[in-house]
Amino acid sequence: MADEETTLRQELVEHYQKVDALGLNEMSSGNLSVRFRDKILISPNGATGDSITVDNVVTCSFNGDYEGDRLPSSEWRMHAAIYKEYEDAGAVVHTHSDYCVAVASHVTTLPGFHYLVGVFGGGDVPCVPYSTFGREQLAKDASEALADRTACLLGNHGMIARAPNLKRAVNQAQRLEIMCRQYVLSRQLGEPNRLTDADWEDFFKKAEEMAYARNG
């Protein structure tokens, strides 16, 4: 196994376990992947934080052909669609984290109630309609929603994020969970105030100076 591939496999295992430790995924829900040349290294179907290893990470083509005895995650189509569409996507993280699921279960956009919603690339975070897991429609919808965002919600399902590397993709997943949690809490006092177009224009100007949008 090439050194580059071994390193990426180790990073994927470490970040999969970090996502598990953060409580963003439980049991075998969610999946992570990283781009490796013209293929994908992806968590195996049914993986948990305890069971995933360097050796059982699956090498998978963008068309679903895989190497070894372990099946790739059932969501390989969603990961592949994102890699095919966005050359700058080096890693993808999909979670079923509690507050992302809570908001996504209403199939509603996360509005711009807080300036840090802007770290995902715009004044809100879109939510795609529900589709059965592993289906091509879900992959298509998620990929399209990430055209000008680094993360989106998946209706009645969870969330997905893309980034140049696993560290930043996991950061995006954690940040979106925080934003969804704070939105749910704020709704207990009524509908929160939303930033205006002028607010967002000034935010993105400042974010460019401070590299917020790049670092998530």
Confidence of residue 1 (pLDDT cuts 50, 70, 90): low
**Per-residue pLDDT, 208:** 87
Q: pLDDT tens, 175-194?
A: 999 999 999 999 999 999 99
Note whether 122 and 203 are within 8 A (CB).
no
How does pLDDT run across 100-150, given as a tens digit for each residue? Answer: 999 999 999 999 999 999 999 999 999 999 999 999 999 999 999 999 999
To the nearest whole number, what is the mean pLDDT of the chain?
A: 95
Mean pLDDT in residue range 151-167: 98
Average of per-residue pLDDT across 66-85:
97
Could you tell me if 112 and 118 are in contact, meaning their C-beta atoms sit under 8 angstroms apart?
yes
146 SS3 class: coil
Would you state the structure tokens that stand for residue 205, as one six-digit string? 């100007």
Q: Give CA 38 to chain center in angstroms.
A: 20
pLDDT of 17 over the 60 cut: yes
| Amino acid identity for residue 32 in this structure | L
Question: Domain 3-215 maps to which CATH number in 3.40.50.1820, 3.40.50.170, 3.40.225.10, 3.40.50.300?
Answer: 3.40.225.10
As a whole number, mean pLDDT of residues 15-42 equals 96
Q: What is the reported pLDDT for 89?
A: 98
Mean pLDDT of 16-45: 96
* pLDDT interval class at 8 (50, 70, 90): very high
Q: Tell me, what's the pLDDT at 22?
A: 97
Residue ranges per structural domain of the chain: 3-215
Residues designated as active site: 75
Residue 215 is predicted with a pLDDT of 47
Predicted confidence at residue 32, as pLDDT, reads 98
pLDDT at 209 over 90: no
Question: Collapsing DSSP states into helix, strand and coil, what is residue 206?
Answer: helix
- What is the structure's pLDDT at 212? 58
Model confidence at 211, pLDDT cuts 50, 70, 90, reads confident
Alpha helices in 105-148 (DSSP H): 136-145
